């Protein structure tokens, strides 16, 4: 098909899908479709509760054939070998979109870079980055937390981890953010062509970097991948792994930090508790945010063979949407699930990082980054307050603010870096 033909076919699919969502949501009152409409995007949680009321596995018209809000059912579908993933053609999401054995082979290769020991070795670098960002923000007094703090931190960490030279880090960040915007779907033809253009530039940057690390390996993930022995990584598998790590590092941790700050500012008593004991309570605040308002709201699995789930027959090829954000508020599992309580008794693990073989590879890093961010923020800016309206991202899968204006209030004395460790 010619490029114009492809573009037209794409536009027809895109606008057909939009019309289907609007029809299913407004006319058929389909709950999954309503998540995509204005109210659902602003606050999906009441819709999740209505899905839960209908049963543990209910038919859907948008995003999949079935949907579940149950912790037990999400957990079991995500862990079941009868279910797997099926990426849309053209998606560059590497092993996130693969089933075993390819998934196992590629994940194993990258895993050592995210071991507890390696991740712990990033602590000081993360602390330095956080302190630097807060210095700049404090000087401004009033600032937008997302672009000034939550977003630059994960970008700095992941570009460092991948071994991106400082001189190129800005370009990687720009192209990566543009591609990450597709996680929530392509919005228009213009968006699609921007993605394509940024994708080409990002690939070129990675190609050069991969070439450099072949000649001069260093202590980073890309060097590890290119020096991997034998046929462990096929040449055309390299680029998607790099893109996956870049985007996964960009688009998620930013929302964990912002959602945590939002929840704490909405619960001033708990923010005061964190400020009184930042080292002890920052990690708890992050963990409760992952349960209460997770950055990734849902994922899905395809039945690889016919399966019976909750007494219903799921045919081979049918897609089950696992609403992990709803599972995290399942009253069968959590007491007072709709309340943000950082002093909550530890219970079964939330599903914010999914479960089973695709359980988030980067979770130790995400937890460490967010904990350090909240800890130092509480130490340095205990009088932090919201200074303007929140503007949210537009999609349904990734949840978090795009803009969160805050004021630092009265400045706290700067502690010595040693005080940040431990
Ligand atoms: C708060 C931050 C994060 C959240 C909420 C998050 C969430 C998730 C979720 C839900 C999945 C599984 C999706 C599914 O089951 O279909 C996943 C997979 C993955 N995540 Fe994360 N993630 C975060 C941060 C990171 C970071 C910082 C990295 C790496 C730099 C990362 C790398 C990955 C990778 C490589 C996978 C694919 C694992 C596989 O397919 O085996 N994530 N993440």
Pocket of ligand 1 from Cβ distances under 6 Å? 95-96, 107, 158, 244-245, 248-249, 252-253, 256, 294-296, 299, 352-354, 358, 360-362, 365-366
255 close to 400: Cβ distance less than 8 angstroms: yes
Tell me, in angstroms, the distance from the centre of ligand 1 to residue 358's CA.
Answer: 8
Tell me, in angstroms, the distance from the centre of ligand 1 to residue 298's CA.
Answer: 12
What pLDDT shows up at residue 420?
Answer: 41
What pLDDT shows up at residue 90?
Answer: 58
What pLDDT shows up at residue 16?
Answer: 66
The two tokens of residue 192 are 């699609």
Q: Which atom of ligand 1 is nearest to the CA of 255?
A: 1
Nearest-CA residue for ligand 1 atom 17 is: 360
Q: Which residues, 6+ apart, have CB-to-CB distance to 135 below 8 Å?
A: none
- How many angstroms separate the CA atoms of 245 and 164, rounded? 12
What pLDDT shows up at residue 365?
Answer: 96
- How many angstroms separate the CA atoms of 22 and 131, rounded? 45
What pLDDT shows up at residue 14?
Answer: 60
| DSSP, res 23 | I
- How many angstroms separate the CA atoms of 411 and 92, rounded? 44
Tell me, in angstroms, the distance from the centre of ligand 1 to residue 359's CA.
Answer: 7
Q: Which atom of ligand 1 is nearest to the CA of 370?
A: 1
What pLDDT shows up at residue 89?
Answer: 61
Nearest-CA residue for ligand 1 atom 3 is: 252
- How many angstroms separate the CA atoms of 197 and 178, rounded? 10
- How many angstroms separate the CA atoms of 80 and 356, rounded? 8
What pLDDT shows up at residue 376?
Answer: 98
* Best mutation site among 107, 320, 351, 363 for ligand 1 pocket (most ligand atoms within 8 Å of CB): 363
Nearest-CA residue for ligand 1 atom 35 is: 361
Question: What string of pLDDT tens digits covers the 422 residues of the chain?
Answer: 455 556 556 556 666 667 777 777 776 778 888 888 888 889 999 999 999 999 999 999 888 899 999 999 999 999 999 999 987 665 667 899 999 999 999 999 889 889 888 899 999 989 999 999 999 998 888 999 999 999 999 988 988 889 888 888 888 888 877 777 776 667 777 877 887 888 888 888 889 999 899 899 998 888 888 887 556 777 788 888 888 888 887 789 999 999 999 999 999 999 999 999 999 999 999 999 999 999 999 999 999 999 999 999 999 999 999 999 999 999 999 999 999 999 999 889 999 999 999 999 999 999 999 999 999 999 999 999 999 999 998 888 999 999 999 999 765 545 544 434 33
* Best mutation site among 87, 102, 248, 364 for ligand 1 pocket (most ligand atoms within 8 Å of CB): 248
258 close to 145: Cβ distance less than 8 angstroms: yes
Q: Which helix (H) or strand (E) holds 52?
A: helix 45-54
Nearest-CA residue for ligand 1 atom 6 is: 353
Residue from 277, 261, 272 nearest 387 by CA: 261
- How many angstroms separate the CA atoms of 73 and 78, rounded? 8
Look at strands 405-407 and 142-144 and give their pairing. Answer: antiparallel
What pLDDT shows up at residue 346?
Answer: 86
What pLDDT shows up at residue 422?
Answer: 30
Nearest-CA residue for ligand 1 atom 19 is: 360
Tell me, in angstroms, the distance from the centre of ligand 1 to residue 112's CA.
Answer: 15
Q: Is 399 helix (H, G, I), strand (E, B) or coil?
A: coil
Query: Per DSSP, what are the bridge partners of residue 391?
Result: 403
Nearest-CA residue for ligand 1 atom 28 is: 362
- How many angstroms separate the CA atoms of 365 and 341, rounded? 23
**CA atoms within 13 Å, Cβ hemisphere of 31:** 23
Q: Which residues, 6+ apart, have CB-to-CB distance to 284 below 8 Å?
A: 342, 343
The two tokens of residue 52 are 């839960």
Tell me, in angstroms, the distance from the centre of ligand 1 to residue 268's CA.
Answer: 30
- How many angstroms separate the CA atoms of 342 and 323, rounded? 22
CA 34 from chain center: how many Å? 22
What pLDDT shows up at residue 50?
Answer: 96
Query: Per DSSP, what are the bridge partners of residue 143?
Result: 406
């Amino acid at each position: 098909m010619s490029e114009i033909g492809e573009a037209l076919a794409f536009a027809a699919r895109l606008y057909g899908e939009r019309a289907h969502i609007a029809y299913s949501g407004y006319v058929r009152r389909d709950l999954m479709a309503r998540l995509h409409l204005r109210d659902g995007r602003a606050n999906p949680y009441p819709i999740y509760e209505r899905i839960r009321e209908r049963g543990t596995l209910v038919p859907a018209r948008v995003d999949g054939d079935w949907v579940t809000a149950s912790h037990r059912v999400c957990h079991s579908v995500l862990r079941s070998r009868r279910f797997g993933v099926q990426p849309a053609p053209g998606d560059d999401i590497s092993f996130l979109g693969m089933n075993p054995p390819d998934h196992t082979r590629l994940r194993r290769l990258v895993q050592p870079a995210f071991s507890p020991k390696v991740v712990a070795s990033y602590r000081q670098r993360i602390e330095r980055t956080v302190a630097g960002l807060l210095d700049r923000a404090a000087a401004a007094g009033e600032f937008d937390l997302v672009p000034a703090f939550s977003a630059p931190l994960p970008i700095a960490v992941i570009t460092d981890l991948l071994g991106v030279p400082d001189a190129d880090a800005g370009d990687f960040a720009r192209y990566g953010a543009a591609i990450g915007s597709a996680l929530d779907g392509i919005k228009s033809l213009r968006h699609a062509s921007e993605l394509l253009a940024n994708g080409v530039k990002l690939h070129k940057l990675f190609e050069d970097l991969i070439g450099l690390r072949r000649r001069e390996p260093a202590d980073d993930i890309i060097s590890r991948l290119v020096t991997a022995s034998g046929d462990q990584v096929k040449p055309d598998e390299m680029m998607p792994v790099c893109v996956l790590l870049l985007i996964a590092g960009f688009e998620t941790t930013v929302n964990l930090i912002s959602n945590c700050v939002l929840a704490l500012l909405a619960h001033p008593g708990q923010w005061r508790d964190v400020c009184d004991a930042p080292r002890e309570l920052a990690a708890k605040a992050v963990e409760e945010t992952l349960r209460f308002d997770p950055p990734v709201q849902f994922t899905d699995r395809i039945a690889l063979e016919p399966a019976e789930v909750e007494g219903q027959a799921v045919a081979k090829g049918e897609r089950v949407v696992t609403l992990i954000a709803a599972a995290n508020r399942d009253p069968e599992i959590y007491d007072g699930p709709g309340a943000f309580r950082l002093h909550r008794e530890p219970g079964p693990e939330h599903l914010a990082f999914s479960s089973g073989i695709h359980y988030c590879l980067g979770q130790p890093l995400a937890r460490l980054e967010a904990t350090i961010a909240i800890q130092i923020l509480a130490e340095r800016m205990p009088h932090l307050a919201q200074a303007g309206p929140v503007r949210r991202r537009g999609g349904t899968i990734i949840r978090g603010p795009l803009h969160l204006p805050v004021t630092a209030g009265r400045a706290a004395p700067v502690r010595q870096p040693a005080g940040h460790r431990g």
